[in-house]
Amino acid sequence: MQQGGTIACTSTETQQRPRSPMPMARGSNLGLLKEKLAAAEAITVLTGAGISADSGVPTFRGTDGLWKNFRAEDLATPEAFERDPHLVWEWYNWRRELIATKQPNDAHKALAELERRCPDFWLMTQNVDGLHRDAGSRKLSEIHGNIWKVRCTGCGVVANNRDVPIAILPSCSRCGSLLRPHIVWFGESLSPDDLDDCSRALKHCDVLLVIGTSGVVYPAAGFASVAKEGGAFVAEINLDPTPQSAPVDLSLHGRAKDLVPLLLQPL
Ligand code: BJW
Ligand code: ZN
């Protein structure tokens, strides 16, 4: 629903609504996307490392990406942790030290504001840095986990841990077993609860925004198709075209911190 020309969804209806025809394209791509958002009752957002790049958190792929200097197989798989937990924890310690100095940027803040304006809103992030929460987002799934949480390899308990640096190797205060980062590594499944929440949000949204992800890591790489099959308008915001660009309805190229706040401005 449009209120005073800005995005302000008002409906709380969430399931199986008939979709009303959307207005025709008018003006720029940005203008069209703002119209779609203003008309939407349910908005879902998928974010990736690009949204936090504007806060100074390194992305994974591309010229300055983490995978240029580190091999994912050595650091982000359960096999790597079994082989050399010390090395893996050292890498996470370095990233915790770096992320601890970073703040949410205008794109994170704009999505928190969008959540406040739209009662039927869901944010799915692949990022583990916690910056969406720091910005005020609450309706979210951190589908690849959170770098500020640890999980016991023995009893499975998950706990918050903001130690910087964290003791290497950390152990569980309940059972003494080795703790690991509460992060989804390659070859590990996402939490069934998160997958359910995402599936629901993708199937019934009117608009899906895909922001700052290369769109190559599954299952998130398949989310745009799920939303499109459900009839949603899918828009991508990224510095560059991605494998998602062809199937999406609209692409905006630029920095997330510049483009996302524009979506909140009056039409
Ligand atoms: C900007 C910007 C700015 C820059 N503004 N934009 C074949 C088919 C299907 C699945 C598989 C398959 N082969 C293997 C799999 C499984 C695997 C997978 O998908 N592999 C692919 C690489 C092929 N997936 C999994 O294993 C997942 N689990 C799973 O599927 O379970 C079931 C299963 C298991 C095994 C086999 C089959 C099924 C788990 C995936 C976990 C991913 N974990 C990581 C690492 C965590 C480590 C950590 O963070 O500590 O999560 S990988 C890494 O990539 C990280 C990210 O969340 C994820 C996505 O990256 P993202 O966010 O897209 O970042 P980048 O760097 O790639 O892109 C940044 C983008 O931003 C770029 O496009 C820039 O242009 C843009 N950008 N600055 C706007 N300022
Ligand atoms: Zn334990």
Tell how far the Cα of 208 is from the centroid of ligand 1, in angstroms.
18
Q: How many CA atoms lie within 13 A of 68 on its CB side?
A: 8
Q: Is the pLDDT of residue 2 over 60?
A: no
Name the pLDDT band for 33 (thresholds 50, 70, 90). very high
> Is the minimum distance from the CB of 12 to ligand 1 under 6 angstroms?
no
Q: What is the distance of C-alpha 234 from the center of its chain? A: 15
Contact (Cβ atoms closer than 8 angstroms) between residue 117 and residue 34: no
Q: Is a pLDDT exceeding 60 seen at residue 4? A: no
Element (H, E) at 140: strand 140-142
Nearest to 256 by CA among 67, 99, 111: 111
Dist. CA 69–CA 95, nearest whole Å: 13
Amino acid identity at 205:
C
- pLDDT level of residue 48 (50, 70, 90 thresholds): very high
Task: Please pick, among 108, 132, 144, 182, the residue that the annotation labels catalytic.
Answer: 144
What pLDDT is recorded for position 21?
Answer: 38
Cα(152)–Cα(132) distance, integer angstroms: 25
Known catalytic residue at 132: no
Mark the residues whose beta carbon lies below 5 A from ion ligand 2: 152, 154-155, 172, 174-175, 177
State what percent of residues in the chain have pLDDT above 90. 81
Ligand 1 atom 35 nearest Cα: 187
Distance CA 94, CA 111 (A): 28
Ligand 1, atom 33, lies closest to the CA of 187
- pLDDT tens digits, 63-72: 889 988 888 8
Q: Which ligand is nearest to the CA of 48?
A: 1
CB atoms within 10 A of CB 113: 18
**Whether residue 1 has pLDDT greater than 60:** no
Q: Does 47 contact ligand 1 (Cβ within 6 A)?
A: no
The pLDDT score that the predictor gives to residue 12 is 36
Quote the pLDDT of residue 71: 87
Cα–Cα distance measured from residue 93 to residue 168, given in angstroms and rounded to the nearest whole number: 9
Quick one: tokens of 99? 């992320």
Nearest to 221 by CA among 242, 192, 250, 241: 242
Could you tell me the pTM of the whole model?
Answer: 0.92
Distance CA 68, CA 83 (A): 22
Question: Does any ligand 1 atom lie closer than 6 A to the CB of residue 102?
Answer: no
Cα(175)–Cα(156) distance, integer angstroms: 10
